[in-house]
Amino acid sequence: AQTVTQSQPEMSVQEAETVTLSCTYDTSESDYYLFWYKQPPSRQMILVIRQEAYKQQNATENRFSVNFQKAAKSFSLKISDSQLGDAAMYFCAYRRAGGGADGLTFGKGTHLIIQP
Amino acid sequence: NAGVMQNPRHLVRRRGQEARLRCSPMKGHSHVYWYRQLPEEGLKFMVYLQKENIIDESGMPKERFSAEFPKEGPSILRIQQVVRGDSAAYFCASSHAYRGDTEAFFGQGTRLTVV
């Protein structure tokens, strides 16, 4: 079974600074997808960024980028120029490539606090 | 273009009652997933359905929980004889395809409180 581990229950960063959230996972599959979701107080789950395991290039979406280390099974999220609206719970998630039958496997989340 | 709609947003039930949670997927989506989020936890997969079919219910508790996605109407997650431990946020997600890279769009969840 796949597992996703987020070892930082809470992180705090000054507005406009850069912060990195950690995620490691365990799987025996060679082809899979990794995701970062944001959950603000409204509880809405919002997809932040997605990485295909077969791609060596790290995904980037504006101020959000990932550091994907397949051999180490590590998938960290870097947020540059942090903004107050980035404050939320962030969840790392895994999904095997063969299809969605088993859904997403989520980590326990990291609570990101933005200090003004 | 409405997103995934879940209702009710909040549901309070007494122990032993039944809870019915509804999920209307995005237009054109025929794949629905249900997840449960306990306090201070990530979301846990419960069940995956397509229209009129349960594809994978490996995350569903064996008793008291059931799910359906009829040909017409929303998907329903039903919890019979609720207990305090069922208190959680229940999320529904939908997608238009089966592939692993297909984005699943989430609803805002139903927070169930059992008193």
Reported as a single tens digit per residue, the pLDDT across A50-105 is: 999 988 899 999 999 999 999 999 999 999 999 999 999 999 999 887 655 568 89
**Following DSSP, what letter does each residue of chain B receive, concatenated?**
----EEE-SEEEE-TT--EEEEEEPPTT--EEEEEEE-TTS-EEEEEEEETTEEEE-TTS-SSSEEEE--SSS-EEEEE-S--GGG-EEEEEEEES--STTSPPEE---EEEEE-
C-alpha span between B114 and B101 (Å, rounded): 36
Q: Which residues of A touch B53 (CB under 8 A)?
A: none
Look-up of token digits 């032993």: B16
pLDDT attached to residue A108 = 94
User: CB–CB of A106 and B43 under 8 A?
Assistant: yes
pLDDT attached to residue A77 = 98
User: CB–CB of B104 and A100 under 8 A?
Assistant: yes
Domains in chain A: boundaries:
3-115
pLDDT attached to residue B34 = 96
Instruction: Kindly calculate the radius of gyration of chain B based on its CA atoms and give it in whole angstroms.
Output: 13
Q: Which residues contact B87 (CB under 8 A, 6 or more apart)?
A: B112, B113, B114
Residue B61, preceding bond cis, omega within 30 degrees? no
**Measured between CB atoms, which of B42, B93, B99 is closest to A91?**
B42
Q: Which two tokens stand for residue B23?
A: 């999920």
Q: Which residues of B touch A4 (CB under 8 A)?
A: 42
Phi-psi region of B98 (alpha: psi -120 to 50; beta: other; left: phi over 0): alpha
pLDDT attached to residue A97 = 77
Percent of chain A scoring above 90 in pLDDT: 79
Check: CB of residue B35 under 8 Å from CB of residue A93: no
pLDDT attached to residue A42 = 87
CATH entry 3.40.50.300 includes domain A3-115: no
Check: CB of residue A63 under 8 Å from CB of residue A79: yes
| pLDDT mean over A31-46 | 91
Closest CA to A66 of A76, A54, A81: A76
Q: Is B58 on the interface with A (CB under 8 A)?
A: yes
Average pLDDT taken over every residue of chain A: 92
**Measured between CB atoms, which of A4, A47, A99 is closest to B99?**
A99
Chain A residues near any Cβ of chain B (below 8 Å): 4, 6, 32-33, 42-47, 50, 52, 91, 93, 95-109
Residue ranges of chain B whose pLDDT lies below 50: none
pLDDT attached to residue B44 = 94
pLDDT attached to residue A3 = 92
- Enumerate the β-bridge partners of residue B47: B34
pLDDT attached to residue B42 = 86
Per-residue pLDDT tens over the stretch B56-84: 898 999 999 999 999 999 999 999 999 99
